[in-house]
């Protein structure tokens, strides 16, 4: 194993502020925690974390090389991901007036695999992970190195999304959400939809 503990710490230090930046996954996890509470949101949050970590895995397996040699693949993935995000945003906008779902009932895509799908719909993390991996770690990585790097990434993602699900489900934020559900859902839907359109329209 050639990767050092210091390099892994630097990697985690770069990753933490990057995932703190509001994006579609953070917005969706927060909105779910507001509406459904911690217990119902945690599997969804863990799916979001696992989905994000998969971009690290595919970057380690050489996705960046594919994007460089065949640029159209990144463009195609961006358009497909943008369409999916725009659809999610439209659903949130459209259903903003709907009453809160019964916590005892199912809630559509608010599942572990729904979270995985949402975070895989945005290819930006692939480029982020690829650039960070190239800047922090040596070019020749052993299988043990890749396992250590992926383990660090998935751990940071899991801790972050678990914290979002738990903190946003606390009584005070949930009370504020109940009082302004329509506007919060409309705002979250608009942001996610705009992020999707950005992926579609960006050259």
| pLDDT tens readout for residues 15-28 | 887 777 667 888 88
First to last CA, the chain: 40
Within a domain: 94:
yes
pLDDT of residue 104: 41
pLDDT of residue 8: 93
Output the average pLDDT for the chain. 83
Q: What Å distances lie between residue 116 and 5, 95, 148, CA to CA? A: 28, 22, 21
Instruction: State the total domains in the chain.
Output: 1
Within a domain: 21:
no
Within a domain: 19:
no
Between vectors from CA 43 to CA 80 and to CA 185, what angle results, nearest 5°? Answer: 60
| CB neighbour list of residue 30: distance below 8 Å, 6 or more residues apart | 164, 168, 188
Within a domain: 43:
yes
In the three-class reduction of DSSP (H, G, I as helix; E, B as strand; rest coil), residue 51 is classed as: helix
Cα(79)–Cα(160) distance, rounded to whole angstroms?
Answer: 27
Q: What Å distances lie between residue 93 and 32, 115, 137, 147, 180, CA to CA? A: 14, 19, 42, 40, 14
Mean pLDDT of 27-34: 88
Confidence of residue 50 (pLDDT cuts 50, 70, 90): very high
Within a domain: 18:
no
Within a domain: 127:
yes
Q: How many residues make up the chain in this entry?
A: 203
Its pTM stands at 0.75
Within a domain: 60:
yes
Q: What Å distances lie between residue 1 and 4, 30, 53, 57, 141, CA to CA? A: 8, 38, 21, 17, 8
Within a domain: 20:
no
**Structural domain harbouring 121:** 5-13+26-201
């Amino acid at each position: 194993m050639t990767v050092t503990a210091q390099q892994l710490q630097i990697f985690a230090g770069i990753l933490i502020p990057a995932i703190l930046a509001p994006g579609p996954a953070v917005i969706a996890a927060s909105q779910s925690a507001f509406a459904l509470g911690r217990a119902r949101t945690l599997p969804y949050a863990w799916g979001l974390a696992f989905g994000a970590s998969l971009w690290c895995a595919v970057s380690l397996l050489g996705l960046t090389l594919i994007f460089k040699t065949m640029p159209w693949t990144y463009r195609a993935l961006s358009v497909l991901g943008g369409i999916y995000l725009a659809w999610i945003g439209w659903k949130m906008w459209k259903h903003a007036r709907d009453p809160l779902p019964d916590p005892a009932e199912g809630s559509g895509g608010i599942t572990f695999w729904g979270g995985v799908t949402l975070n895989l719909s945005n290819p930006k993390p692939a480029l982020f992970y690829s650039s960070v991996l190239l800047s922090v770690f040596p070019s020749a990585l052993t299988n043990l190195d890749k396992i250590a790097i992926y383990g660090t990434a998935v751990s940071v993602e899991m801790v972050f999304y678990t914290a979002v699900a738990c903190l946003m489900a606390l009584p005070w934020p949930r009370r504020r959400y109940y009082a302004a559900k329509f506007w919060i859902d409309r705002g979250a839907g608009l942001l996610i939809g705009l992020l999707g359109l950005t992926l579609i329209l960006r050259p």
